[in-house]
Structure 1
């Protein structure tokens, strides 16, 4: 990317008093607004198209509890989807936005879907990227044909283990060299595929690695697997799957879309990080949804 919007950060208190760092791409406030429920522990740089000052979209979002400047809750149990729903509502209220499209990526799809059900009066549309409404661990390993029960057990087990011993790995991850060369290697690993802008991807990875491993795993293991009744979502919805996604199998994203009346499903040739790989394609789909809801 040749130019990048100025990120503007702020603070807000969630319902339980937890202080959160909020962020916006700081474009004109009269543009269509999107509330972004990001992937767990991720940051603004994971969405390069939204950082273009000419993107035509105002995004409001926040850093998860215990991530990138946001405080950990006083009660460690308050890191599940219900807490994230409360956080999303606080961010929307702070931005003085009555109603808008809600977007989610990865674990954020579960947050976005639950938010749409809990606060239907605040949601004009739903954009779900590379994630599922429920059972996130069961959706892992699609391209490797890992059976869902195995994927679910592995994901839960790994999160539980790292929640206990992950602190020992944090000095390694926080001091890992995140250079153009290592980022390019990651982008050719299969876990991620070649990205559109290497420096933006590098910044996204570097910021992600600042989160302590044990805290990230603790938050991950609290994520609900209970089935979400997305059939009650009554706004225009677009679900986007990625063919080579190792963390949210495309078939599960497609199945989730089929549960929402009138939802559109699109599959792109990318990984879990498809918005870094094909930012224009993903952004175009988001703009299409914004056009639909404003018609």
Structure 2
């Protein structure tokens, strides 16, 4: 299991808040500025589906220079499931993002997204352009995400979408059987080392913190996680013609969950957008935290 020291050290850099979304769903929101000491711009983080703050090691340092506000998705990480179990799509995540901004008293901010969170931030920017002043996309595309998966295999989009959606349906049905096993897996630095040998994730500079992130992810029942995934899979591609604010795309060459070529295509359709491709997996901000953080700081300096 993750070392208690790693978990405790990471926890001291966070503060958790209870936030009520528009439909009455109680969310666990969080900030990396528990003592209000960070001097720097505020960023709204739309995180990867079902993931936690521990997936962003560079943002857990008090000297990171960025105040982050974010939340855990519905039914994960202390956030409750909505009364209507179908209200877990990108549109509802946009409502949650607005509730988080309001709770922390943030009128306008740069939005940063990772994985499925990129869908959320682009939808937020289109629906509420007055709240977003810049977009920083990490390993994610602005909609129709499942069609971009398995990118390194160069499959046709229709085939990629069919395979990944059907795999998610199978995992949703098998989730009740698999969850008791997954939730009891021993996750520590050795497990992270084995995971990085699969090619799904590459080596990370902080295996202890990565173990905390993976262990936290496995607390979500798998049937619920894949229920979320299937609901978000229906989110269509956002019309990028409506985007006119500064944007940066940080892609990973070996990403099997958000194809780099699709991120490059999206960046090319936004005037002035920057595109950076790093030799990494989908977990690029965990594998190369300093590089991704440097790109974020440079973008914030340009936007401000």
TM-score, length-normalised on structure 1? 0.96
* Secondary structure, aligned partner of 1:154: helix
| Deviations 1:16-53, CA, capped at 9 Å, x for gaps | 00000001101536520000000000000100000011
| Deviations 1:107-153, CA, capped at 9 Å, x for gaps | 00000000011111111110000001111111111112232212100
* Secondary structure, aligned partner of 1:222: helix
Q: What is the count of residue pairs matched by the alignment?
A: 293
**Residue equivalent to 2:29:** 22
> 2:197 aligned with 1:178, yes or no?
no
**Residue equivalent to 2:89:** 80
Distance 2:216 2:82 in 1: 21
> 2:131 aligned with 1:153, yes or no?
no
* Secondary structure, aligned partner of 2:167: helix
Q: Is the 8 A contact 2:110 2:135 kept in 1?
A: yes
> What are the within-5 Å matches in structure 2 for residues 1-295 of structure 1?
4=10, 6-26=13-33, 27-28=36-37, 30-223=39-232, 224-294=234-304
**Residue equivalent to 2:3:** none
* Secondary structure, aligned partner of 2:202: coil
Distance 1:189 1:146 in 2: 20
| Deviations 1:267-294, CA, capped at 9 Å, x for gaps | 0110000000000000011111100111
**1:56 Cα deviation (Å)?**
0.2
Distance 2:84 2:25 in 1: 10
Unaligned runs of 5+ in 1: none
Q: Is the 8 A contact 2:38 2:65 kept in 1?
A: no
Distance 1:195 1:189 in 2: 13
Distance 1:253 1:201 in 2: 25
* Secondary structure, aligned partner of 2:110: strand
Distance 2:164 2:92 in 1: 21
Distance 1:163 1:185 in 2: 25
Distance 1:207 1:105 in 2: 17
Unaligned runs of 5+ in 2: 1-5
Distance 2:171 2:84 in 1: 19
